[in-house]
Chain A
Amino acid sequence: MQNKSFISIGIVIAYLVIVNLYVQKESKMNRRDDLEEFAVGGRSFKWYKVMFTILATWYTGSCFTGAFGYATSFGVFALYDTTQVIASLVLLYVIGPRVWKWGKSHNLLNLPDFIELRYRDGKLSFILALYTIFIGFPWTVMAFKTFGYVIHSLTYGALPFNLGIVVAAIFILTYTLRGGTKSVVNSDFIQGLIMIFGSIALILFMTHKFFGGFTPMFQKVYEKAPELLTIPDSAGWSSVIIAGILGSFCWMEIFNRMFCANSPEELTISTVGAPILGASMYILLLLLGIGAALIPEAVADPENGFLTLANMAGGPIILGFAGIIILAAEISSTDSGVVTGGIVIANTIIKRINPKLSEKKLVKVSRIAILVEVSIAAILSMMELPMLMEIGMFTFQHIIHVFPTAIIGVIWKRGNKKSAWGGIIVGMLITVTLTLFPEFSSQYFGGWAPGVVGFFFNLMTYVIIALFSEQEEYVSELFSELD
């Protein structure tokens, strides 16, 4: 192994040890087998921790690999994600306090619990729990692939890809098994700080170093690759933004964050602060990604572009720093995903099969589920899965079908279980049909994604059935709790 690989891997090991010590110290469970403490951290977190856990869960390591490379290859189109995140935060501002209040008074732990409370339909909650776990899983596998990729790059190829995956899996398990969501929020807080402020500093440094600033960078891009500075397919652009906004709170790990704040006030304050930090980081990152189109080494391997630029800018020390940022982003998203998945498997799926399980046993089952999830994802990520990215992108078109049931149900009293089932079935059938017959889809719906078209019919069905049904008394009572 070369000396420079020792330096960068040393930086990463030091980082992992420090983060782990911090998380272990901050995440001692007051009551070891308390499900509420394990699942939502006892609803005890202040705004700054909630803000960073939202940002850290939202921005994954793939922002620094896949999205950065996408900006290098396709230019300004990559900025769709910045827009969808900020619009989603407005949505969080609107629904967050309501969801929190219901969560507190009915002891809700995640999205399926809310669905069961809102629609009084255990089957709907059970099916949506399975569905969201299933479509979220490819992202966990991709996250572990990113760990392997980053460790391999940081050691200049000296450490094998699979070793990076094993290290990341062990690291995540050391604190998630012990402290559940409490440890996840603390981990996300420290890693979110590092990701946001570290990456802004590094991006500004690299932009100055390679181009002398953003203005000269764009002058060069305009001269050499002007096609990167406009969006050729506006319907496709709109589709991905709409899908992103609608899907944002249907991911269970994001929905779960609303229950972690210690009051609705803390939740809204966190929402106000998040866009400034999140948008600053992500826009700067993607602008640098567009500029990377001028650097042949980055163009040769766009997904590795961020690490390539870091290495070119400052050798192993800056490369190690860039690696920490990517790991921080990826670990803080993956830990949230596996813990919420584990808790939902125990509290919604296993509990439905065996309702007599005590709270203590449910915490135990959650821990086993987390261990199994991480192990399966890590093993799968060691295999060749060429379609994984396509499957991941495909999931975005499917998660949005949860939106009317989950999010419209938060703000509109009329929705009921018939409208929820009707909307999901119609929307899914149309999405699957249009996906299987792309020529028909493009002939009648142009560049709109099948998921977005299906969502439109899902929403219409939900609204029409709800309007033609009688409003349910218990829903009015639920909404009156908000006053």
Chain B
Amino acid sequence: MNKYVIRKRIYIGIVFLLMLTLIFPPIFNLFNKVEPIILGLPFIIFWIFCINVMIAVILILLRINDKKLYAKEEENAK
């Protein structure tokens, strides 16, 4: 399998795992607390903020990866 396809699946898998920390209650309970306070934010808020930033970054990586994937596919088609 093309390495860009594998990378795309890994990125989407990471998003899924990150989301699990917020929507799967037994895991979510590990993050659902005030302390430690990080950057002045209660831990749960800090974690929600982190998830948003990480997913935004992953979307950028996905886009870069897809550009390379499409270029490779076009090259192969030629």
Contacts and interface: CB of A to CB of B under 8 A. Distances in A.
B37 A218 contact: yes
Interface of B: 12, 15, 19, 22-25, 28-29, 32-34, 37, 39-42, 44-45, 48-49, 51-53, 55-56, 58-60, 62-63, 66
B42 A90 contact: no
B23 A241 contact: yes
B59 A89 contact: yes
B40 A218 contact: yes
Given A83-B51, A89-B55, A275-B56, 10 more contacts: A82-B48, A90-B15, A226-B34, A229-B44, A230-B34, A231-B44, A241-B22, A242-B23, A279-B56, A287-B45
A230 B31 CA distance: 9
Nearest to A448: B25
- The 9 residue pairs across chains A and B that have the minimum distance between CB atoms: A215-B40, A275-B56, A279-B52, A234-B25, A229-B42, A238-B23, A272-B63, A229-B34, A272-B59
Main secondary structure of the interface of A (DSSP, over half): helix
A215 B40 CA distance: 5
A68 B19 CA distance: 23
A350 interface: no
Interface residues of A, number: 35
A268 interface: yes
11 contacts: A86-B51, A90-B15, A214-B41, A218-B42, A219-B40, A222-B34, A234-B25, A234-B28, A234-B29, A241-B22, A275-B56
Interface of A: 76, 79, 82-83, 86-87, 89-90, 93-94, 213-215, 218-219, 222, 226, 229-231, 234-235, 237-238, 241-242, 268-269, 271-272, 275-276, 279, 283, 287
Contact of A268 (B37, B48, B63): B63
**Of listed A219, A242, A269, A283, residue having the most chain B CB within 10 A:** A283
A275 B44 CA distance: 19
B42 A82 contact: no
B48 A90 contact: no
Nearest to B22: A83
A268 B70 CA distance: 13
**Of listed A82, A218, A234, A242, residue having the most chain B CB within 10 A:** A234
Contacts of A76: 42, 44-45, 48
Nearest to A268: B63
A272 B63 CA distance: 7
Contacts of B62: 93, 272
A121 B53 CA distance: 41
A105 to B, nearest CB: 18
Contacts of B51: 83, 86
A237 B29 CA distance: 11
A83 B15 CA distance: 12
A392 to B, nearest CB: 22
A279 to B, nearest CB: 4
